[in-house]
């Protein structure tokens, strides 16, 4: 397969730079009933919702960063400001040196975007025709277009369905087509907002391999939002966790595991399930009858083998296994810690290890 190594994509500076980005939405509160509706028209009660508050971060050229957080945390709003769809209430952002909401057309040529719930393809046209229209919109040469499609076809198996109307594609086929469409004009920066939601594991793996190739061999910068922790663990070396519109953690997966304290887990099946399982320096993450999942308690400097020794000394164990912390548990713990929306201390926000960010 033909590969063009684009590293680095640009000179100094970051591919994405965000400083104090804030987005506030204003609206009117709707009152129930006819009188309430009338009152909403005559004397509306104004509401204000801050979706993103004072967000700052940078993403280097050729870096894939996962932007994580629970539903409603502000991830999609952040992506929409970076793609130029929304204008910030305050703060600023630059993508490949351009303020996206001020120079939308220039920004569009520098970015690719995939929103998992929506397609950028023409619903009634075959996929191949949508690609041809995008080629002409972006002014891509016929030779580059053919080369890029051949490269994408090898990775995403597009040719098996690119003569099919978009409306008749399966979800996995549509998302693969959208990925190819977003990258056909060879943008240096790509935004992916839950691109693989609802897809089967085989297609997800195809998409992961494709993204890895684009980042590692072509130097593309990717900002990805997802709820799929397997995707995060496979693709991202760095994650930014946003909750209640604020960044609460920015760092490597390993540094986050260490901060949360869930660096390992012991999965055990007890012979005689104890009502109250207590071990010094150990906390119970999950409990399902005789099956328990243990992790180090907060601030505890305990090895998994020491925890296993304490467990076996006190309880009869039928089966046991030690493994690295499940990323879903790590993120769930972090979401719970930040559920009140309280800002973290500076030391917990800046977790990036030297050379990783």
* pTM above threshold 0.75: no
Has residue 174 got a pLDDT over 90? yes
pLDDT-above-70 percentage for the chain: 80
Say which CATH topology domain 16-255 has.
Answer: Rossmann fold (3.40.50)
Task: Lay out the sheet containing 189-193: strands in order across.
Answer: 111-115, 189-193, 221-225, 64-68, 238-243, 246-252
How is the chain split into domains, by residue range?
16-255, 264-324
What single-letter DSSP state applies at residue 266? E
Could you read off the pLDDT of 196-248 as tens digits, one per residue?
877 888 888 899 999 999 999 999 999 999 888 778 888 898 999 898 899 98
Pairing verdict, β 317-324 and 264-270: antiparallel
Whose tokens are 């391999």? That residue is: 209
Could you check whether the bond before residue 256 is cis, i.e. omega within 30 degrees of 0? no
Could you read off the pLDDT of 305-348 as tens digits, one per residue?
888 888 888 888 888 888 766 566 666 676 666 665 444 433 33
Residues 60 and 13: beta-carbon distance below 8 Å: no
């Amino acid at each position: 397969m033909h590969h063009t190594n684009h590293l680095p994509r640009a000179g100094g500076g970051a591919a994405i730079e965000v400083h104090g980005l804030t987005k506030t939405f204003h609206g009117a509160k709707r009152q129930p009933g006819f009188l309430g509706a009338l009152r909403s028209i005559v004397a509306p009660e104004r509401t204000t919702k801050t979706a993103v508050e004072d967000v700052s971060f940078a993403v280097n050229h050729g870096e894939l960063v996962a932007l994580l957080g629970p539903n409603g945390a502000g991830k999609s709003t952040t992506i929409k400001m970076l793609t130029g769809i929304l204008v910030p209430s305050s703060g600023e952002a630059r993508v490949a040196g351009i303020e996206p909401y001020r120079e939308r057309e220039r920004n569009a040529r520098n970015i690719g975007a995939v929103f998992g719930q929506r397609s950028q393809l023409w619903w009634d046209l075959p996929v191949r025709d949508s690609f041809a229209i995008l080629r002409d919109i972006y002014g891509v040469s016929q030779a580059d277009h053919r080369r890029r499609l051949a490269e994408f076809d090898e990775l995403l198996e597009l040719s098996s369905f690119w003569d099919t109307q978009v409306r008749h594609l399966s979800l996995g086929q549509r998302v693969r087509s959208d990925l190819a469409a977003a990258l056909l004009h060879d943008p240096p920066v790509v935004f992916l907002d839950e691109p693989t939601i609802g897809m089967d594991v085989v297609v997800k793996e195809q998409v992961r391999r494709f993204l890895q190739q684009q980042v590692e061999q072509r130097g593309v910068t990717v900002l990805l939002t997802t709820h799929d922790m397997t995707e995060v663990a496979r693709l991202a070396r760095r994650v930014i966790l946003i909750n209640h519109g604020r960044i609460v953690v920015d760092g490597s997966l390993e540094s986050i595991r260490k901060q949360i304290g869930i660096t390992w887990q012991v999965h055990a099946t007890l012979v005689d399930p104890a009502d109250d399982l207590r071990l010094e320096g150990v906390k119970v993450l999950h409990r399902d009858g005789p099956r328990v999942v243990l992790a180090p308690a907060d601030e505890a400097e305990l090895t998994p083998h020491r925890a296993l020794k304490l467990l076996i000394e006190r309880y009869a164990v039928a089966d046991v296994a030690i493994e690295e912390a499940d990323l879903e548990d790590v993120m769930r713990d972090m979401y719970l810690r930040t559920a009140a929306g309280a800002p973290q201390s500076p030391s917990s926000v800046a977790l990036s290890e030297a050379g990783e960010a």
